[in-house]
Chain A
Amino acid sequence: MKRTQRETEDSARQIGRRSLVVGGLFVATSAVLAARMRYLQVERADDFRLLAEENRINIRLLPPARGLIFDRNGVIVAGNEQNYRITLVREDAGDVDAVLAELGRIVNLDMVALDRARAEIARRPPFVPVTVADRLTWAELSAVAVNAPALPGITPEVGLSRIYPMGGDFSHVVGYVGPVSDYYLEQTGDTDPVLQIPDFQVGRNNVEARLEHTLRGSAGTKRVEVNAGGRVMRELDVDAPDPGSDVQLTVDAGLQNYVEARLTGESAGSVVMDCQTGEILALASAPTFDPNLFVRGISTAAWNGLNADPYRPLANKATQGLYPPGSTYKMIVALAALEAGVVTPGDTVNCPGHMDLGDRRFHCWRRGGHGRMDLVQAISQSCDVYFYDVAQRVGIEAISAMARRCGCGVRHDLPLSGIAEGLAPTMQWKAQNRGAAWVVGDTINASIGQGFVLSSPLHLAVMTARLATGRAVQPSIIRSIDGISQLPAPAPDMGFDPTHLDYIHRGMWQVNNDRRGTAYGSRVDVSAYGVAGKTGTSQVRNISAAERASGVISNADLPWERRDHALYVGYAPYDTPRYACAVIVEHGGGGSAVAAPIARDILLRAQLGEIPPPELYPSNQRRDIERMHRELPILPSPLVPSGRTVRSQA
């Protein structure tokens, strides 16, 4: 609208007038607000101070009971126990030191914990309760409650604390909980109010951490009227906390206990899977540690001890440890070759003990050579030269593709911390990561699971399960949550030619059951429980030509950290495969001498559900096996499902 100068001036004048009216309303309203402020904050300040200090209504958060973790048979592997403790609120206590001194006359106070509590009290706002004494007996708690009038700001409390009844057996599966740290809050950005509860515990790793929100539950509230001393005058109402969900693992606590015990003394990792369903029945890493140490914050001495141990108890070797798989990789090479059609099972390769490539000489583990080998023999006697030859025909791309199909060099999605991806190398990988072109020597190294190839026991167990059943089983470790099954659908077929698989199976059977097989010593005498497998020994050092000339130094003469890794993968029973197992003993020496016997025992224990009787072993080994089992540090079996422990806050 075009306006004249006069209209514009009229309009501006009117807007000006009315704006001033509105401005007047602003000022008037603000004056009313200021007056109200003055009334509440100045004139009635004393009333409200009194209300605030003397008779205030507080909402206290009630911690939820953390969900329990069971094994597949209902044995509790992570539970909750009653914990009697004493908290102090600084602003109610007044003179903190005097109150603590008085408290010290009634119960024994741990000086170190007390110093920590003092620092905590100074750091936290004055109204936050801080725990000054923990894990008291009922008698001590009662004594404090009786003396309450002399102890302002002190509250005896009953809380729940995590307990791991199986000790170290499940520290690499279940993990542990710990106190909520500032770092934790920073990292997770978690604003759940339950984290503000003193001594609240959160999962720090493995299942406890990865299923934190499933296990945690949500806080309840209790409205209480408290007096100036912080003492609860009456409870107004309670909104009960919502406990966390219970989690059932696929792991069998009895088997897990046996595997951990069987690995004791070594630095080793092992995974046992149901090779039909993919359920992980045991996942062990030795040495282990007591997760209960971490629940209330581990002492510096214990922490340093765990870190200084050369056997690295904190590392989960079953899922985080990566090793050259050695000869356990040969089935992958064989299957890739059969599928590519570059060999038939009947084709033979002559093994003179070495193979020359240009000016490099690649040795077989048997210096004198194996002679003519076909596929089944090459697997059972683990002839390196056969696989050098075959691998060159297949090529690294087909080998690594087969490895990934079998579950090596891929990250398996389990709710555990830091699962390693492993490596099935390709030409492109080497170009990108090493800046060098792939050479035939790399393929030859890869053909016997050395060089760039890296796998964890988890990878090898999945591989074994897939080879044994020909089905694409996926590993899983959570069986159910609050009774609702979490298991995956039945695995689809891998699409392998059954006759190819049959030759692989026969090779693996002969490893344990043919006189010349590399693990013949680890056979089972009753064929219904028969074990098929493959040994592996992977070098962690280069053997120089000079050393080879003067005779390779035997493992026993080497320092521990330079000895070979011992590996074994296997499944049982041979006819109807049910259990797959992978064992790696770090710097253990030879796979056939060290890893295979352990795996045989584990597979027998898995099949029988109890300590295998000596009759299943070759007659000349029975006495030793019996003694070994007698001395094994295992829990009395069978473990009894203990049902529910403490569920809710008292």
Chain B
Amino acid sequence: MSFLEYNVKTTPSGWRKVLYLNWALILLLIAVASVGFLMLYSIAGGQLSRWAEPQMKRFALGLAAMFVVAMVPIWFWRNMSALAYGVSLLLLLYVEFFGTVGMGAQRWIDLGFMRLQPSELMKITLVMMLAAYYDWLDLGKKSRPLYVAIPLALILVPTFLTVMQPDLGTAILLSLGGGAVMFVAGVHWAYFVAVIAAGVGTVSAVFASRGTAWQLLQDYQYRRIDTFLDPTNDPLGAGYHITQSQIALGSGGWTGRGFMEGTQSRLNFLPEKHTDFIFTTLAEEFGFVGAASLLALYVLILVFCIVTALQHRDRYASLLVMGIAVAFFLYFAINMAMVMGLAPVVGVPLPLVSYGGSAMLVLMVAFGLVQSAHIHRPR
């Protein structure tokens, strides 16, 4: 029982909920998705049916899902958190053994109308689980070692499973996102200092293990790190993507080459030009102005999420919304950093813009949770 349920009478109910939706946030989401449609149309050479149209359909589905999730009271979702996490974990285990592998990375379950990637699902359900955990936990116990070990296990088990897939990008997203929820929940500073120290140690271990029998990462992941550190030493091999995406980005200039006029991102046949590298096309065709505008839209979405979290008195709602904000932030920050040569190429899509069903749908459900938190708030 939390604070919230003592004040149920003051939260909006029935159709009045629609009035309390955060409509500005919805408009922002539509704006970002529309940027995606434009770019997918352009990359397909002016063809609607290839990527833009399916993407629009999925976004419409996502919007509908968001509305449905938003209408359900946030305390219902809190009660569902452990179940959702458990199901995600089972699915993750299932694909580990029976899933289909595509492009050497993420594994999925074919549902017929879409491919479900349980690792995408886990990004949200992990946040839900952790928020519910800290909602349940006695406030005074949150920094005791045993009660820190529990959420750590909740984070590390799915992280380990995604690393095994091997999907490094999702693993990073899961661990950082989970860590951020623990941080916001108020776990003692010292733990985070320790983790950062351990992280530095792990990175050293990863490099030290290279070439030995207990090598921690796949060879291609090492090569990606190598070429990230120095793209020029292999401009036609593994460094090709980074070099080419920077050339494409850089040649956009202030205002870009104009819609559908980009040459680099198309001609150079970046293999993931409609998914992970879609930002290069945007940057080339609309220049700094276009790229910075998209970044501004993303930051505005974060601002709305943080405001929702701060307004809420309920621990679960605040933690959940912050966790979702962090996950969203990590998506676009890692993707942009990756294509701009600030981070290694790890295969993280640009949220709501890159072509892809699972990620889009899961994100929209997550924003449905944000909306639910926003609506079901005592006023």
Contacts and interface: CB of A to CB of B under 8 A. Distances in A.
A59 interface: yes
Interface in B76-107: none
A22 B288 contact: no
Contact of A1 (B137, B269, B287): B137
A15 B250 contact: no
B299 A30 contact: yes
Contact of A26 (B138, B288, B302, B340): B302
Interface string A72-86: 000000000000000
Interface residues of B, number: 67
Interface stretch (A46-54, A388-396, A461-469): A46-54
Contacts of A127: 263, 266-267
B49 interface: yes
A10 B250 contact: no
A22 B180 contact: yes
Interface residues of A, number: 58
B342 A36 contact: yes
B64 interface: no
Interface in A592-646: none
Given A1-B137, A49-B251, A40 B246 contact: yes
B69 interface: no
B199 interface: no
Chain A interface SS verdict (over half) = helix
A44 B250 contact: yes
Interface in A122-145: 125-127
Interface in B261-281: 261, 263-264, 266-269
A20 to B, nearest CB: 8
B292 to A, nearest CB: 6
Nearest to B42: A125
A34 B337 CA distance: 10
Contacts of A34: 292, 295
B315 A15 contact: yes
A44 B254 CA distance: 11
Between B180, B246, B263, the greatest number of chain A beta carbons within 10 A of the residue's beta carbon is seen for B263
Given A1-B137, A37-B340, A29 B333 contact: yes
A541 interface: no
A189 interface: yes
B128 interface: no
Interface in A1-29: 1-3, 5, 7-12, 14-16, 18-23, 26-27, 29
Contact of B249 (A16, A27, A40): A40
B295 A33 contact: yes
Interface string B157-182: 00000000000000000000000100
Contact of A41 (B47, B291, B341): B291
Given A22-B322, A41-B291, A45-B254, A1 B249 contact: no
Contacts of A8: 3, 313, 315
A312 interface: no
Contacts of A20: 306
Interface of B: 1-3, 45-47, 49-50, 135-139, 180, 183-186, 235-236, 240, 244, 246-254, 260-261, 263-264, 266-269, 283, 287-288, 291-292, 295, 298-299, 302-303, 306, 309-310, 312-313, 315, 318-319, 322, 325-326, 329, 333, 336-337, 340-342
